[in-house]
Amino acid sequence: MSNYPPNNKKQPPFLKAGSVVGITCPSGYVAYERVAYAVTVLEKWGFKVVLGKTIGTGEFYFSGTDDERCADLQTMLDNPEIGAILMGRGGYGMSRILDRLDLTKFMRKPKWICGFSDITALHSDLEASYSVPSLHSPMCGAFTPETENAPHLLSLYAALTGAPLTISAPASPYNRTGTCKAKLTGGNLALLTHLIGSPSEVNMDDKILFIEDIGEHLYKIDRMMLTLKRAGKLDNLSGIIFGGFTDMEDTTRPFGQTIEEILWDKVEEYDYPVCFNFPCGHQDINYTLSLGLEHQLTVTENGSSLKVIR
């Protein structure tokens, strides 16, 4: 019996006991020690783990040369025994190798691509070019003795195995109430704007858009949101979710708006549901999102919820 969900052969099969998870690092350097505990937890979940050659290796900022990182990821994409690929970390570097990847064998048996931040480039390319769902998820550094039973980390297990998954968010004065059902898309704001005009640019019409970011000046967030708006990316959404915008910086002469005000200004004119304070992004609480799958977003005066429609 096929482990594919009905009527969607491009969706990777959900994992089960004995499934194989590969770990590679296609972007920035990651120390082996940051990966080791993730292996322990994945094995507790019942999975087998295969480590790539880019774990604990380095070439300046990166986990290896472009050739090395591309080859390591390609090997895992081609391996039919691997059911999911968990990225060691993000950083920067995925877009340097994106056009060199060959997804021919991957498309014969798609697998879950797991990660966030710089991995947004691969998530977006999978959606734009192949309509393959993927997981905006914690990476290896999130696995620690303190977090292994935390709900946000267990959401990755739920997403990988096809278990029910609903994520809640607290109320915000900037929320706009409403309910919608649509496919979920998005990721890191800087990467989404970086991909506009490229083959990896996602059509966001009639979708729920999720965005987050870290370590940017407020004026840069304003500029990137204006880029999305001027490109028409915000015009025809079913809903929008703002996750963590952490470690934001201001200029010596203040920008004059808070991060919430900057984001709200760009979507105020529309009528779709708007959710702030969603627990996902570059922060300790980082839930897994099933990009490319149908979700129901519900925003009320008391808070919000996002439910995967299986």
Domain boundaries along the sequence of the chain: 20-161, 166-308
84: exposed, middle or buried (Cβ count in 10 Å: 0-12, 13-18, 19+) = buried
Residue 268: predicted pLDDT: 98
Is residue 30's pLDDT more than 80? yes
Is residue 3's pLDDT more than 50? no
pLDDT band, residue 243 (cuts 50/70/90): very high
C-alpha 87/C-alpha 135 separation (Å) is: 11
CA distances, 4 to each of 8, 40, 149, 287, 289 (Å):
7, 27, 28, 24, 19
Q: Which residue has the tokens 């019942």?
A: 46
Q: Cβ–Cβ contacts within 10 Å for residue 43, how many?
A: 12
C-alpha 269/C-alpha 182 separation (Å) is: 20
What would be the CATH architecture of the domain defined by 166-308?
Answer: 3-Layer(bba) Sandwich (3.50)
Residue 1: predicted pLDDT: 28
Query: Which CATH superfamily groups domain 20-161?
Result: Murein tetrapeptidase LD-carboxypeptidase, N-terminal domain (3.40.50.10740)
Mean pLDDT of the chain: 96
Please list, in sequence order, all residues whose beta carbon lies within 8 angstroms of the beta carbon of residue 263, skipping any fewer than 6 positions away.
174, 221, 225, 242, 245, 276
pLDDT in tens, 32-85: 999 999 999 999 999 999 999 999 999 899 999 999 999 999 999 999 999 999
With a threshold of 0.85, does the pTM exceed it?
Answer: yes
112: exposed, middle or buried (Cβ count in 10 Å: 0-12, 13-18, 19+) = buried
C-alpha 279/C-alpha 270 separation (Å) is: 23
C-alpha 48/C-alpha 288 separation (Å) is: 20
Give me the percent of the chain exceeding a pLDDT of 70. 97
